[in-house]
Amino acid sequence: MSWISITIETDSTHAEVLSDVLLEMGALSVDIQDAAAGTDLEEPLFGEPGEPTEKKFWQSAKIVAIFTAGTDVEEVVTDASQAAELTSLPAYHVDQLPEKDWVRMSQDQFTPIKISSRLWIVPSWHKAPDPKAINLILDPGLAFGTGSHATTQLCLAWLDENLRGGEAVLDYGCGSGILAIAALKLGARNAIGVDIDPQAIMASQENATRNQIDQKNAQFYIAHNELQTTTTDWADMVVANILANPLKVLAPLLMSMTRKGGKIALSGILKDQSEEVEKIYQQWFKMQISGEREGWVLLTGIRE
């Protein structure tokens, strides 16, 4: 089967309603984009949690809708414009999308990643480059953490360098469970993963099973307030790869879970955010920047 892509030019006032109408008319997918992307007029809209942006859509936007081949494009654009109460027909153009092996193309984007001389991340459809290494079998899924992002690699490298064996590890914001699983593969005694997304918990459990991790040693939970009182002062190592603002809010909680003398590693922090995050954690930890990659930093510390 082949498809067509209809790109319609619009503005922030009509972008949402027009995209909704296109979906109702049978579009397989609809994507709203910045029409000025890649130019000096590109408008950033995304902020961190707790810091919503004022604008919901770009002033100059374009909608890319996918339909099956043979769709009457003129009829679709005309009917959508009328339903969205546009005063005139918007500019648009059509591209052909030939049939492709989308699964294979997606898989080709993910290749084995070398974290260190002994630690690799290997998608299940690839042969391990070094069978003697510690190979984490991980496929892209619904939860964050395939090992390709700089912040994940910083945390993995830190675990590889600092785990001595027998530690209790907390992975807060576990996503795919990659850090908790890596910790266990590297010799941790047990690991607990925590996340706010039920899909992340499901993905973590599945990935632990895929990597032949004993369920007694790997536990994954939805974050809740009881954690603060029931699991304090127990973790030898805490890893939190989230974002700067949540890390600031979570500081007292993460501190309370770290035993005295325990280690903490924080990432998801841009370089210009590191000083503010570091200042908060310095109340309890001796902090330092231990790594930097692609504009992201890794903050680490020891609880005093």
- Asked if the structure places residue 123 within a domain, the reply is no
Residue 218 corresponds to which amino acid?
Answer: A
If you average pLDDT over every residue of the chain, what do you get? 90
Asked if the structure places residue 124 within a domain, the reply is no
Listed residue (302, 212, 196, 208) closest to 249, CA to CA: 196
Q: Which domain holds residue 291?
A: 146-303
Identify whether residues 152 and 251 lie together within a single domain: yes
Answer positive or negative: Cα dihedral of 5, 9, 12, 13.
negative
Residue 67, pLDDT > 80, answer: yes
pLDDT in tens, 30-44: 999 998 887 877 777
| Domains contained in the chain, number | 2
Same domain, 88 and 190: no
The pLDDT tens digits for 175-229 are 999 999 999 999 999 999 999 999 999 999 999 999 999 989 999 999 874 454 4
| CA–CA dist 106, 131 (Å, integer) | 24
Nearest to 72 by CA among 97, 53, 94: 94
Could you give the CA distance from residue 144 to residue 242 in angstroms, rounded to a whole number? 10
CATH number at 64 reads: 3.30.70.120
The answer to whether residue 108 is domain-embedded is no
133: its two tokens: 């290494």
224 and 165 inside one domain: yes
| 151 CB neighbour count, 10 Å cutoff | 23
Contact of 182 with 159, CB cutoff 8 Å: yes
